[in-house]
Chain A
Amino acid sequence: MTSFRLRTHLIVYCTAITLLLTTALIFLYSDLFKSHAIGNLSAYGMAVTRSTSFAVIDDLITEDYAPLQEYVRDTASLPSIDSIQIANNQGNILAASEVRLLGTTMEDDFVVKDKDLKVKIDSAHEQLVVTAPIAVGGMVFGITRVSLSMKPILAQLREIQRNTALTGLGFWILAVFLGTFLAQRLSGPVQRFMQVTDSITLGNFNVEIPTPKGVLELERFSHTLRVMASTIASRELALQNSERKFRHLFERAMEGIFVANEKGELLDVNPAFISILGASSRETMLGRNLFASIFESEESFAKFKKLIGDQGFVKNYELTLIANNSTPIIASLTCHVVRGFGGGVNKYEGLIRDITEQKTAEREIARIRNYLNNIIESMPSVLVTLDSDCIVTQWNTAACRLTGISSQEAIGRKIYDTAPFFCKYTQQVDETNRSRNAVTLHREQVHQDPEHLYNLTFFPLVANGTAGVAIRLDDITELEHKEQQLRQAQKMESIGTLAGGLAHDFNNVLAGILGNLSLLQYKLKGHQALSVTEMSEYLDRMENAGQRAVDMVRQLLTLSRKQQADLVPVDLNLSLKHVRKIGENTFDKSVLMVEHPAAEPAYVLADITEMEQVLLNLCINAVHAMTIMREDTQWGGTLTVAIEKITVDPVFQKKHPEAVGNAYWRVSVSDTGVGMDTKTAAKIFDPFFTTKEQGKGTGLGLAMVYNIVRQQQGFIDVYSEPGLGSTFNVYLPVLIRQGEVLPAAQSLDIMRGEGLILVVDDDELVRSMAEDVLLAVGYSVLTAANGQEGVDLYRQHQARIKAVLLDMAMPVMSGREAFVEMQKINPEVRVLLASGFRKDNRVEEILQLGVKDFLQKPYTITSLASAVKKVIEA
């Protein structure tokens, strides 16, 4: 295609547009003028015919034709009228401006057959002919025809066309000049732009880009060109940087990277490649044949060649290569063929990775896995793992033994299909999956064999990024059996412990019986008269002594009964009463036993014997702490047993995470004995741990207490101070009997307050908990870890401190001493005494000194807030 200059294009376009517009203008304007002029002429012609009709109708009706010719002559003299004719309704011309037509008939073409007016252009004569009927009342009496000359119109039209053409010619000349001018304006900058783009193409980005003014497109083009040049320059730079970066990566890569030609001769290699192959330098590698250098055997090379020939690439092809230092290396080769346009091999690119260590690690992992599998398989416990869809992923030998289902059958199937007895643990599996916390079930009979009991533990499991559950079943049948034996042995020990006191009492009973009997025999032998009343008195005494012996024996029999645990509703108040009865006869008389039973029946679901065993063991321990374990001269003390209902609140739950119910019965067994340190307290529930002298304790009592309480979903806490005594709190879930309503989670009716409270307690957990509680209910808090620190703080902030929460037993300075010091600073000091001990004589003594109130630990948010408020407002 031939190219023309911009100027030529512009001139041609301008000419074409001008000609097109001129032609269109001529046609459009001519047509408009003609339509308008002919319209006007038609209207004029119609007006003349209408006027003629009005003028001659009477003459035609009355057949008075003489005036018609005169009328025609007058009308013909009007402008533009070439001729006029009037005919009767038969078309006979009655009057005409051209007299030669008189007596003739109107040309058929123009005869009006109906009542409509007709307008027609007679092109041959350049006339507009208007023909109209002359009618009245629907009756046509004649016809009039007026021929109007169109010559002036046509002459005017030709004049217009000529003028328009001349105007168009003028415009064309102007357009040619304009096109030339515009071409000159545009082609100059375009030429300069072309030079600039040539420079940019050659890589010269610093060339000056022209900035023509006045032409928006050129200005924009200039701007765009500048941006484009800048962008290309930036990209060029980025490309160079990228090349540098990838070159850097190439040089620093851990994998050996290579490029080889179609024959396999190395064209480029990176340092890692050189290192892997143990070459001395890059130069020594270039030109060497890749395949001859790395394949240790023809067979391996042939296999590789076939793969890459078929696929065009090979990924992670493992081979063993011998490096220059003769060390065998396991390597992974990834290579692909770069083909040319003809489809032939152009070059090979790829990377080689030393995977010797990886392979070693994999072997080690396999070994460990095998080792772990052996352990799992050899475990006596059943171990089953499930994925999140409860599909079995692990099934050990113990599981096979238990179910008779092999691991091949079990793995990959839903556990509920494999071992239907697991269906009853769906809830635990789901809960473990959901909460990601372990769930443990004790003494479960999972299989058809009722003789076997199992502990089930559901562990959350995350393996290979997938959540699941591991289920462990421990056969505790044997253990349970042993435990029962142990429990019985421990009971016997308790009975043995009681036996000393019992023997003494039993002797007293026997003495009572035998004494009265001797007295009776003596009197009978002496023939002394015995009144009926006297006789009756002796017999009553003997009967009472005998009855007492029966009671004692019955209690012991009850306690020593060997039977299966039978969970029934047990009123703790009643159990306490029974234990008291036993204690009355067996405990050292130097011990004062004080009871605070619950105000209402304190039902728990437990085995009666086990429950009494728990109480009795705790009481025996308390008695021992106040008697045989004393090393000082003091002997005896107070044993306090109290039962009260505890409603769980967040503070309580924080202190006792094992609390899951809303309400518990707390059985507190307190003594004023030797007490123990925290180190000892941490071990007291361990089996066979005892602080008693050899032969005085087996170390099984508290272990058994712990087990019994745990089996009944309860828990125990201990508070003890060396030299002061101990308090064992046993918490057992409140049993809701028919008709009773379990209290809802405690609605916290908490008494809020404000002001600064000083908390003095050596137990950090208790101290921080008290601080949290008091802050939560609106107070500001200062804390001190012992009595001395508390006194110092009180001295500094006494004006602001509203009340002091003071622990009773603390190192450095006890609560009692601290209170005395605080009283010296401020006699009005408001102190709330707190202690794990119950409110006994020691507490009463401090209260006598002026302490406002006492709060027993552990306290709840409600009790603490209420007690503090009460002390402040006292």
Chain B
Amino acid sequence: MQRISAGPAVRVLLSLLALWGMAWPRLCPAQETTDAIRFGVYPYKSPKSVVEVFGPLAVRIEKRLGKKVQLVSAPDSDTFLKKSQAGEYDLALPAITVYYKIQPAGYTVIAKGVPSFWGGVIVRQDSGIKTIEQCRGKKVAAIGEYSYAGYMFFKDLLDEKKIDSTKDLDIHFLGKLDTIIYGVLNKKYDVGVIRLDTLDMKDFAPIKDQFSIVARSAEIPQFPFVVKSGMDQRTIAAIREVLTSLSPDKPEDLEILKSLQIKKIVGATKADYDPFYEVIKNNDYYKHH
């Protein structure tokens, strides 16, 4: 068999081809499916969980519109923010903090989940901690700096009490609510910062009474459903109709609502989120990210 030896020109050509191949997915996202509606969900859960929770909703919208609905998420909050800002999503469920930032990119609120929720600082009832001041020197578990319910409001409270979060406390960002709750319960952490309605979930109901709430945040509206500017009104109306038609009385709808930790979805506008903007706009993390 004749061996063919590759010359320098060929090698260069192959290298270029390889680089193009690696870059191709980024250069050519799925925009070629122009008919599809891209439904971007803020990565507040693992990608698989996002698909499990929003997959059925996406299928309903797909059936209602007669169009393919491509459910996607992002590896992280920043990527989601960037993609949103880049207008990659036709329909999106951003975190509130993200919503305020992508609003300029032309996203409009069409619906939201109710009721609203609160962030809270929880301790074990036998811990003796009753105030934020008593958190000084304690080991704290929180969701992350990006999460208002899971840290930001706590940071604001610490700032008010002149407590340095980097020195006076030992803060750990765990990202997962159940890890925080069981961590506090098992005395691995002294203080937990969580979204409070989490304790009302079925899994935590039996242990809810073992916690006491030291502080709670302002009322936080649920993540808004937004659509990209330029979407025709008929499509928007159809999507809203699908979202608001979810009823807890229907077993198949109840599953979706439960997974969203809401009772139902109602129509909403920007005005519904303005009050909370006033709360958050001065938060350091929000300001710097």
Contacts and interface: CB of A to CB of B under 8 A. Distances in A.
Interface of A: 57-59, 61-66, 68-69, 88, 90, 92, 94-96, 99-103, 136-139, 141
A99 B21 contact: yes
Given A65-B25, A68-B25, A88-B30, A103 B48 contact: no
Given A66-B25, A96-B21, A99-B18, 14 more contacts: A57-B47, A58-B47, A58-B48, A62-B75, A63-B72, A63-B74, A68-B25, A90-B32, A99-B22, A102-B22, A103-B24, A136-B48, A138-B55, A139-B58
A127 to B, nearest CB: 19
A92 B75 CA distance: 21
A139 B71 contact: yes
Given A69-B22, A90-B33, A102-B20, A61 B28 contact: no
Contacts of A99: 14, 17-18, 21-22
B48 A61 contact: yes
Interface centre among A63, A88, A90, A103, by most chain B C-beta atoms within 10 angstroms, is: A63
Contact of A102 (B24, B32, B33, B74): B24
28 contacts: A61-B50, A61-B71, A61-B72, A61-B73, A62-B47, A62-B75, A63-B29, A63-B30, A63-B74, A64-B79, A65-B25, A66-B26, A69-B21, A88-B30, A90-B32, A99-B14, A99-B21, A101-B21, A102-B17, A102-B20, A102-B22, A102-B24, A103-B21, A103-B24, A136-B48, A136-B55, A137-B51, A139-B71
A62 B30 contact: no
A62 B18 contact: no
Given A90-B33, A138-B55, A62 B21 contact: no
Contacts of B48: 57-58, 61, 136-137
A137 B51 CA distance: 7
Contacts of A90: 30, 32-33
Contacts of B43: 62
A64 B75 contact: yes
Given A61-B48, A137-B51, A137-B52, A92 B22 contact: no
Contacts of A141: 51
Given A68-B25, A102-B24, A137 B75 contact: no
Contacts of A101: 21
Contacts of A92: 28
Q: Name which of A64, A95, A96 has the most chain B CB atoms within 10 A of its CB.
A: A64
A-B pairs with lowest CB-CB distance, top 9? A102-B21, A65-B25, A61-B47, A58-B47, A137-B55, A99-B18, A103-B24, A64-B75, A62-B75
Contacts of A69: 21-22
Interface in B66-86: 71-75, 79
A479 to B, nearest CB: 130
Interface in B1-25: 14, 17-18, 20-22, 24-25
B229 interface: no
A137 to B, nearest CB: 4
Residue with the highest number of chain A CB atoms closer than 10 Å, among B14, B24, B25, B33? B25
A61 B51 contact: yes
Contacts of A137: 48, 51-52, 55-56
A68 B22 CA distance: 9
Interface residues of B, number: 30
B46 interface: yes
A66 B24 CA distance: 10
B17 A100 contact: yes
Contacts of B71: 61, 139
A95 B72 CA distance: 19
Nearest to B55: A137
B20 A103 contact: yes
A507 to B, nearest CB: 155
Nearest to B76: A62
A311 B79 CA distance: 127
A64 B83 CA distance: 12
B79 to A, nearest CB: 8
Interface string B133-168: 000000000000000000000000000000000000
B51 A136 contact: yes
A334 B20 CA distance: 126
Nearest to B71: A139
A72 to B, nearest CB: 11
Contacts of A64: 74-75, 79
B37 to A, nearest CB: 14
A58 B46 contact: yes
Contacts of B55: 136-139
A103 B47 contact: no
Contacts of B51: 61, 136-137, 139, 141
A94 B25 CA distance: 6
A29 to B, nearest CB: 32
B91 to A, nearest CB: 15
Contacts of A61: 47-48, 50-51, 71-73
Nearest to B26: A65
A57 B14 CA distance: 29
B51 to A, nearest CB: 5
Contacts of B58: 139
A65 B50 CA distance: 18
Nearest to A103: B24
The residue in A68, A88, A103 that gathers the most chain B C-beta atoms within 10 A of its C-beta is A103
Contacts of A65: 25-26
Contacts of B56: 137
Contacts of A96: 21
Nearest to A100: B17
A69 B21 CA distance: 9
Contacts of A103: 20-21, 24, 28
Interface centre among A57, A59, A62, A94 (most CB of B within 10 A): A62
Nearest to A65: B25
B206 to A, nearest CB: 28
A141 B50 CA distance: 13
Contacts of B72: 61-63
Nearest to B25: A65
Nearest to B43: A62
Most chain B CB within 10 A, of A94, A96, A99, A138, is at: A99
Contacts of B28: 92, 103
A99 B22 CA distance: 8
A57 B47 CA distance: 8
Contacts of A58: 46-48
The listed residue with most B CB atoms (<10 A of its CB), out of A61, A96, A102, is A61
A102 to B, nearest CB: 3
Contacts of A139: 51, 55, 58, 71
B18 to A, nearest CB: 4
A94 B73 CA distance: 17
Nearest to A86: B25
A63 B80 CA distance: 10
A476 B24 CA distance: 153
Contacts of A63: 29-30, 72, 74
Contacts of B32: 90
A103 B27 CA distance: 10
A570 B75 CA distance: 148
B31 to A, nearest CB: 11
B235 to A, nearest CB: 21
Interface in B212-240: none
A65 to B, nearest CB: 4
Contacts of B73: 61-62
B21 A136 contact: no
Nearest to A63: B72
A115 to B, nearest CB: 14
Interface in B184-223: none
Nearest to A70: B22
A71 B74 CA distance: 19
A63 B51 CA distance: 13
Contacts of A62: 43, 47, 72-75, 79
A406 B196 CA distance: 142
Contacts of B21: 69, 96, 99-103
